[in-house]
Amino acid sequence: MSSPLTRNSLTPNPLPPQPLTLQQRVLPAYRAPFFEILAQAAGGLRLFAGQPLPVESIVSAEEGALPHVRVTWGRNRHFRDPSSRAFLCWQSGLLAWLERVQPRALVVEANPRYLSNWLAVRWMRRRGLPVLGWGLGAPRSGNPLERTFRLAYLRSLDGVIAYSRRGAEQYRALGLERVFVAHNAAVSRPAAPPPERPWPPRRPLTVLFVGRLQARKRLDLLFRACAALPQELRPRLLVVGDGPARAQFEAAAAAHYPQTIFLGALHGEALRPHLAAADLFVLPGTGGLAVQQAMSAALPIIVAQGDGTQDDLVRPENGWQVPPGSLPALTETLRQALSDPARLRRMGEASFRIVRDEINLERMAQAFLEAVDGGR
């Protein structure tokens, strides 16, 4: 890991040190490393969050993973679930928390459906204090009333921090002027060189998937795509992960690509040898912070197009983006990839360079703090 960041290195005239203050609807385990690095860089972090709905299958972070973060748990009152267009959330205790911690600046989620955030923004405004939003972006969707509702919320903020360049472009298209980008990262800057792989590679080449086994991950497409390849290109396919759709995916694999190997959930050192043994990482559905783990292991990537965060990570020099749900596109992309092992190696080297130099937790924390200082 790189040397610790300091706020003094980010702005020539910082305010007297005070812990950074954030609101989050939930505190997922995958965000814990970022918040911990951010807390160390900022001189502390105070965070208000609630619990997810059971239907979301979100694993909450354990406070032991956040020694530099002071977490206050509120009570989330959800109306519908987050997949519904009618979803709303109220976080009980948010205003009382603000009264207690008296922040000089606040970062909230840039989601107008979190109704208590409207009052938090007004609380900051009345005191002449800056408040920034943090979000994926603002695609042009919904009816005119929904778009007006979203725009009113975003315009009440002093600035927004986007997860990606596409998200930033969407915010700017709405007329927002103070827009920052903190690329959504899931791994630290690699501290070691990438794994050494034999050359020429062993045949068949190994394709790896890592992630929670949910229906939206569309592993069924990957099984069918592998089966549609010429015999000489069909890969050794490893699936790492567990989840509610495991039995469904095991049945699909048995029907379409029975040589698939299911390894269960693996993390850390247990996952490392499988990353090193792979030649290509494939994510046929949505989500997937494991993409960055694979890039840290110098793997080329195939992903389905999504919310824009993939655009910053997966580029022509290190991988492919395919239309979501398209079996022909996934099959053809796999055929191209597995036909040229030398190209895969070059693309893997580019993946490693991207997470080493551009998109990692340390760079994300630095960009986040620069945005907060710039939004004052």
Helices (H), the chain: 32-42, 94-101, 115-126, 144-155, 165-173, 219-227, 246-256, 272-277, 290-296, 309-313, 327-338, 341-357, 361-374
Nearest to 110 by CA among 99, 124, 101, 121: 121
Kindly state the helix (H) or strand (E) to which residue 280 belongs, with its residue range. strand 280-283
- 78 bridge partner residues: 89
Is there a contact between 70 and 95 (Cβ–Cβ < 8 Å)?
Answer: no
- pLDDT tens series, the chain, 376 aa: 333 333 333 333 343 457 899 999 999 999 999 999 999 999 999 999 999 999 887 889 987 899 999 999 999 999 998 888 889 999 999 999 999 999 999 999 999 999 999 999 999 999 999 999 999 998 777 788 888 999 999 999 999 999 999 999 999 999 999 999 999 999 999 999 999 999 999 889 999 999 989 999 999 999 999 999 999 999 999 999 999 999 999 999 999 999 999 999 998 899 999 999 999 999 998 876 789 999 999 999 999 987 667 889 999 999 999 999 999 999 999 999 999 999 999 999 999 999 999 999 999 999 999 999 875 6
Amino acid at 57: S
CATH architecture of 7-188+360-374: 3-Layer(aba) Sandwich (3.40)
The DSSP 8-state label assigned to residue 60 in this structure reads B
Angle at 229 between CA 225 and CA 232, to 5 degrees: 145
Q: 206-357: which CATH topology? A: Rossmann fold (3.40.50)
**Confidence (pTM):** 0.88
Q: Buried b vs exposed e over 150-167: b needs ≥16 C-beta within 10 Å? A: beebbebbbbbbbbbebb
Q: Matching CATH topology for 7-188+360-374 and 206-357? A: yes
Enumerate the domain spans of the chain: 7-188+360-374, 206-357
Is there a contact between 164 and 181 (Cβ–Cβ < 8 Å)?
Answer: yes
Amino acid at 135: G
